[in-house]
A and B are shown apart, each in its own frame.
Chain A
Amino acid sequence: MEGDEEPRESDRRAPGAEEAPPDGAGATTRTSGLPSLPAAGTGKNHRILFALLWLAVQATLIVTAGRRSDGAFGFRMFNESSTIKLALYRELERDPGGPRARVPVEGGVWIARASDGTNHRMSWYDRVPTPFWAFDQEMPASYGAAAQLERLQRALDDLATHVSAADDLETRRFVLDVTVRRNGREPVVHQLTSREREAWTPRRADGAP
């Protein structure tokens, strides 16, 4: 094997070969022949302060990551292998104060009676664009089931807030059934409900809310 042999004399005549650093010294040699930046000193203590501050902030964010549902800024990679499956419903109230009917919303799209008397086509995706969630299919719970439940609750409230009465006079509130399978365990259904839609808030005769 070539590696077993000593380098021969012809190898040693390589240009610059005689410049080999002394044994043992080369491992820590730095190219110090170049001009250096102005020498540091006590005037550079801001470096230490910045480093300590940086490390303190990072440590705090990491230690407190458990308090945030998505563990943001805590570097908790692949924290779960959970999945979620979403089913969206509308709660309708034909008569104020009457019983409510629960109507499934297929694929996040529904048609509702609008204030002008016509039917308007509405979609979850008008407010909550892809690629965050899809309906009626199992998908990975990115950043964990708790994070997804919290974000879905916010999304549901956002939807209820932004679907105007001009487009939908029927829906009282939205309901989302979230089937969570946490790390391969048996599925558990969480029911999320949106806030009541403002368009349905009873008003006094003088028009004040």
Chain B
Amino acid sequence: MLAALARFRDELEDGYVLGPVRAAVGALLGWHALVAAEELAKIGYFGDTFHVAMIPEALVPAPRVYAVVLAARVCLAVMVAIGVWARPALAVSAALGLWLLLCDRNQFHHNRYSLYAYALLLSLTPCDRSWRATEPAVPAPRLGPWWGVRLAQLQVSLVYLASGGSKLLDPDWRDGLVLGDRIARYAHVAIAKGVPPAVVDLLARPDFASATAKLAIMTELVLCIALWLRPTRVVALWWGVWFHVVIQATSKVETFSVLALSLYGVFVTPDYRARRLRFDPSRFWGKLAGVVVPALDWFARFQVEPWEPDDQRGHSVVLVRRDGERATGVRAVAMIARCVPLLFPLWAPIALLASFTRRGDLTTRG
């Protein structure tokens, strides 16, 4: 136990992978600040009308102070997103956001509270070592203390545990009443979006809703553990991505899903350019990989370089995995999909296809 605590305290890792997470959190902080500013302009200062303060009324900001705080939040969010004094900006953004959240319970939303909690935890990590607009070159040292990242990972798991646990303990949720009613009430919206009425009817059936509810509960409870285990992490992340995509598409959840997906970045293994991708610039697919992979490789998983074209028959792309094994063709595509965030939703079917090749496997190594 003491050894684990010491490891938690002293762990150092490469902070590059946290850059995209920080930029996404900065964008979300900015979005929320701008929404609040828009409400101030359209509706007026919340303190002048009905509000429910969770702190003494004397601590609720005056109108002008509130306007200044909103302006500061926008500026701080930009600083977070572009990496200028990012960690202090994250901490101050979190503090200001939590303060305003406590000033009016009507404006409380789980996703907003989660955002400020994650921003605070991210400020404790080496998230300022990459994705810096003012200093594009990756500065040294890139290694930094990892305890804040572990805490952010724990927070992600806690959110899943709390959400899944509360649903598990609620008979209405377990039996599918909540989900079935939601589907039935929003059926017209789904049909208007092109979902066949037969599918909507099927989803709203009590037995189907019950099964879907149990799947949702199981997903949340499994995710909170599976994200921590190396053999299950990639599958958990993939399943979680689609889980949140479905939630975002079917519910009004503000930025909840975007935040959850952004925070999946803290589970990315910090292995800066540990894989190598070699492409043949004389071939279309090689040229395409040489352009697309560096552009979308936000976590810097690949070292991408061309090789000299020759007259021998070879491959457009050769990928050298972390374990030194080479992958070509569909196996290389599966590896790229696994490591490139925008292609990650496609990873599982491609990996399944790759598993049918002679050298394919369904493990999550490499």
Contacts and interface: CB of A to CB of B under 8 A. Distances in A.
Given A48-B8, A51-B8, A154-B52, A11 B315 contact: yes
Listed from nearest, the 3 A-B pairs whose CB atoms lie closest are A2-B329, A3-B329, A184-B181
Nearest to B251: A78
Contacts of B323: 21, 23-27
B318 A11 contact: yes
A17 B306 CA distance: 11
A3 B324 contact: no
A10 interface: yes
8 contacts: A17-B276, A23-B324, A41-B10, A59-B158, A65-B166, A71-B166, A78-B167, A79-B167
Interface string B139-174: 011111101001100110011011100110010110
B10 A44 contact: yes
A130 B330 CA distance: 53
Contacts of B345: none
Interface in A79-118: 79-81, 83
Contact of A40 (B10, B14, B251): B10
Interface in A1-51: 1-5, 7-11, 13-17, 19-27, 29-32, 34-37, 39-41, 44-45, 47-48, 50-51
Interface stretch (B19-27, B87-95, B192-200, B354-362): B354-362
A13 to B, nearest CB: 7
B278 interface: yes
A27 B52 CA distance: 52
B5 A26 contact: no
A144 B341 CA distance: 35
A47 B166 contact: no
Contacts of A54: 121, 151
Contacts of A130: 43
Given A27-B365, A47-B8, A77-B110, A5 B143 contact: no
A13 B314 CA distance: 11
Contacts of B140: 34-35
B357 A4 contact: yes
A122 interface: no
A181 to B, nearest CB: 9
Interface in B240-256: 251, 253, 256
Contact of B271 (A11, A29, A55, A154): A29
Interface string B10-44: 10111000000000000000000000000000011
A171 to B, nearest CB: 17
Interface of A: 1-5, 7-11, 13-17, 19-27, 29-32, 34-37, 39-41, 44-45, 47-48, 50-51, 54-55, 58-59, 62, 65, 70-81, 83, 126-130, 132, 151, 154-155, 158-159, 183-184
B262 interface: no
Q: For chain B, which range describes its interface: under 10, 10 to 19, 20 to 34, or 35 or more residues?
A: 35 or more
A3 B142 contact: no
B329 A5 contact: yes
A36 B141 contact: yes
A27 B230 CA distance: 11
A104 to B, nearest CB: 21
A45 B12 CA distance: 15
B185 A83 contact: yes
A158 B48 CA distance: 12
Given A15-B305, A34-B143, A76-B166, A20 B324 contact: yes
A128 B110 contact: no
Nearest to B162: A75
Interface string B309-321: 0101111001011
B79 interface: no
Contacts of A32: 143
A158 B53 CA distance: 13
Contact of A159 (B50, B270, B272): B50
B233 interface: no
Contact of B162 (A15, A74, A127, A151): A74
B278 A14 contact: yes
Given A5-B328, A11-B326, A16 B303 contact: yes
Contacts of B327: 3
A8 B314 contact: yes
A44 B9 contact: yes
B344 interface: no
Contacts of A11: 278, 307, 314-315, 318, 326, 328
